[in-house]
A and B are shown apart, each in its own frame.
Chain A
Amino acid sequence: MSNEAAVLLIDDDEMVRRAFRRALERGGLAVIEAEDGASGLQMAREQVPGAVMLDLRMPGMDGLDVLSDLLRDDPERPVVVVSGQGTMTDAVEALRRGAWDFVSKPVMEPSLLVRTVRRALEKAALLRQNREYSESLRRMNEQLSAALEEVRTDQQAARQLQFQLLPPDGLCMTGYTCSRRLFPSQLMSGDFLDYFPLGPDRLGLYVADVAGHGAASAFMTAILSTLVDKYRELFESRADETILDPDQLLTRLDADLVPLQLKRHVTMFYAVLERASGRLVYGNAGAFPFPLVADGNTVTELECVGRPLNLPCSGGFGRGETVLHPAGRLLIASDGVLELPPKQTHKARRESLARLLSNSWYIDSMLAELGLHDGTPLSDDVAFLFLKRESTNA
């Protein structure tokens, strides 16, 4: 409130009004006057002063009633009541009803009057500012909530789409069962996996992890899965056998990703399994921890280092082969598994995963042991691919 804000004086005593006006005007405040409650109320409604000084004892309408009406009209406008000596009970009642302050007559010190009104005006300005801030905050909050809700709905739809790209869980492919679990740390995942038949004799499978989290990484998993699908189609149309050779597939993927300039690298473990023999040929583009293979209760880590896709690095991809015996299991987990609570060193976590796999035949029992379920708060996406060879399939 500026200094020019008018102060309305409501007092039946003309001498008092004159004295007050002089003091307030010297203090830089504009003044308007009314000589009784009824005309004061009307003036307050018509001229909207910044503050009101109200005498409590006037003929006609009682000062306390005028006070109530003034505050009902505008609860944020300060009203300072003026009481004569010996009418302290009135002043107390006025404060109880919502008066901002009071001065008692006679006012010996004019500057006190100015200070009192000024203080009331400043307080009113602060309160009004405060309310305006709160309101604009509330409005912004509402807008933000609405925008957030929109983004969330959007992401939810994208998440559904991403999950639709995943292969069916528990897929049986003559003699082998593939299961998968994906736990995104946000709505969408930068981890992705797939498994599929390659002709009548082989299976292909991979787990990939795009650097980062959320929508951008998820988008790139979709590109990745599209590229792999393309190589599959080329194989099915007998045009190209890249998909049968893990090292060639990773090289091809890298060559196809780099020109897209997406600036996110991808770690990926890709393997081709020969159904009859259980021979597993694999390639690794920096995926870590290394996959685990169980033969009975014996677990081996498929240690193979290699450079990630879409990253300026020297060296080749990791490669190797092993055999999945009847009743054998293969577990591929993305690096998010290393970050799961309780905090452990990577080495300890890898060892405990190996122990877990040594006597587990079901993915869900392993996840239960890891304390992982939908809704577990995660710092990184976690993906699991679990492949089991039937014991009868020798």
Chain B
Amino acid sequence: MPNGHVTHAERNGIHVLRYFGKVDYMAAPAIQRFLDDLLEHERVSGLVFDLTSAEGLDSTNLGLLARVNDRVHDAAGAGSMIVSRSEDINDVLRSMGLDRIFEIVTDEPAPLHDCCAKESIDVDRPPSESELRHTMLEAHRALVDLSDAGREQFHDVVACLEKSQG
């Protein structure tokens, strides 16, 4: 993959996809197949798209996110979120109204008790949803921490595909 690549890791049904570099339409079919496979065969309670290491996402991949989000929400109790600190990417997400369908987390994932404190004020959100949000943030942080500590849990999405297809 010449431009960007995507890796995947899972913890307690929360699936995290990390985007690296410039992920363009060439990568989209592989990501799509991977997610199709995931949604069909795995338990998916939540999907976290971590775009913090992405340089850019083209329109094809943005569309892919929105379509997958739609399918995840169809599955009972599942949710999806985007972790992104790039102003460029967030501007595009907002311009398309994707911030209305995704929870977009722009700050560093906060420690769990902070989330709780914040959530307890947020009365509009049903408890199950905020619990899920905690679980997703926590799973994301744990997996990224492990990865930063060199105990890699993430696997390249394309390589996973090749393996599963034997």
Chain B binder among A16-24, A234-242, A306-314: A306-314
- Nearest A-chain residue to B68, judged by Cβ: A312
Q: How far is the CA of A375 from the CA of B24 in the complex (A)?
A: 22
Contact residue among B59, B94, B97 (Cβ-Cβ distance under 8 Å from A212): B59
From 113 to 168 in chain A, residues with beta carbon under 8 angstroms from any chain B beta carbon are none
Q: How far is the CA of A311 from the CA of B95 in the complex (A)?
A: 14
Please state if A267 and B96 are interface contacts (CB–CB under 8 Å).
yes
Q: How far is the CB of B50 from chain A (nearest CB, A)?
A: 20
From 88 to 119 in chain B, residues with beta carbon under 8 angstroms from any chain A beta carbon are 88, 91-92, 94-98, 100-101
Q: How far is the CB of A341 from chain B (nearest CB, A)?
A: 14
Q: How far is the CA of A263 from the CA of B59 in the complex (A)?
A: 12
- The answer, yes or no, to whether B145 is at the interface (CB within 8 Å) is no
Contact residue among A286, A339, A379, A380 (Cβ-Cβ distance under 8 Å from B97): A286
- The answer, yes or no, to whether B38 is at the interface (CB within 8 Å) is no
Please state if A288 and B95 are interface contacts (CB–CB under 8 Å).
yes
The interface bits of chain A over 301-323 (1 if a CB of B lies within 8 angstroms of the residue's CB, else 0) are 00001111001111100000000
- The answer, yes or no, to whether A213 is at the interface (CB within 8 Å) is yes
- The answer, yes or no, to whether B66 is at the interface (CB within 8 Å) is yes
- Nearest A-chain residue to B102, judged by Cβ: A313
Q: How far is the CB of B114 from chain A (nearest CB, A)?
A: 28
Please state if B97 and A265 are interface contacts (CB–CB under 8 Å).
no
From 315 to 374 in chain A, residues with beta carbon under 8 angstroms from any chain B beta carbon are 315, 335, 338-339, 345-347
User: For residue A346, which residues in chain B have a CB less than 8 angstroms away from its CB?
Assistant: 87-88, 91-92
**Contacts A313-B97, A313-B98, A315-B97; is A211 near B63 (CB within 8 Å)?**
yes
**Contacts A265-B63, A380-B58; is A345 near B87 (CB within 8 Å)?**
yes
From 60 to 97 in chain A, residues with beta carbon under 8 angstroms from any chain B beta carbon are none
**Number of residues from A at the complex interface, CB < 8 A:** 29
User: For residue B100, which residues in chain A have a CB less than 8 angstroms away from its CB?
Assistant: 307, 313-315
Interface-central residue, B67, B94, B97, by most chain A CB under 10 Å: B97
The interface bits of chain B over 40-81 (1 if a CB of A lies within 8 angstroms of the residue's CB, else 0) are 000000000000000010111011001101100000000000
Q: How far is the CA of A265 from the CA of B58 in the complex (A)?
A: 12
- The answer, yes or no, to whether B34 is at the interface (CB within 8 Å) is no
From 146 to 204 in chain A, residues with beta carbon under 8 angstroms from any chain B beta carbon are none
Please state if A265 and B66 are interface contacts (CB–CB under 8 Å).
yes
- The answer, yes or no, to whether A264 is at the interface (CB within 8 Å) is yes
**Contacts A288-B95, A345-B87; is A313 near B60 (CB within 8 Å)?**
no
- The answer, yes or no, to whether A209 is at the interface (CB within 8 Å) is yes
User: For residue B60, which residues in chain A have a CB less than 8 angstroms away from its CB?
Assistant: 211-212, 264
Contact residue among B62, B70, B87, B92 (Cβ-Cβ distance under 8 Å from A312): B70
Contact residue among A264, A305, A345, A380 (Cβ-Cβ distance under 8 Å from B95): A305
User: For residue B20, which residues in chain A have a CB less than 8 angstroms away from its CB?
Assistant: none
**Contacts A211-B63, A212-B60; is A305 near B87 (CB within 8 Å)?**
no
Contact residue among B56, B63, B91 (Cβ-Cβ distance under 8 Å from A288): B91
The interface bits of chain A over 5-36 (1 if a CB of B lies within 8 angstroms of the residue's CB, else 0) are 00000000000000000000000000000000
- The answer, yes or no, to whether B154 is at the interface (CB within 8 Å) is no
Q: How far is the CB of B3 from chain A (nearest CB, A)?
A: 10
User: For residue B87, which residues in chain A have a CB less than 8 angstroms away from its CB?
Assistant: 345-347
A211-B58, A346-B87, A347-B87 known, 16 other contacts, Cβ within 8 Å: A265-B62, A265-B63, A267-B59, A288-B91, A305-B96, A306-B96, A311-B67, A311-B96, A312-B69, A313-B97, A335-B59, A335-B92, A345-B87, A345-B88, A347-B91, A380-B58
B residues contacting A by CB (< 8 A) are 24-25, 56, 58-60, 62-63, 66-67, 69-70, 87-88, 91-92, 94-98, 100-101
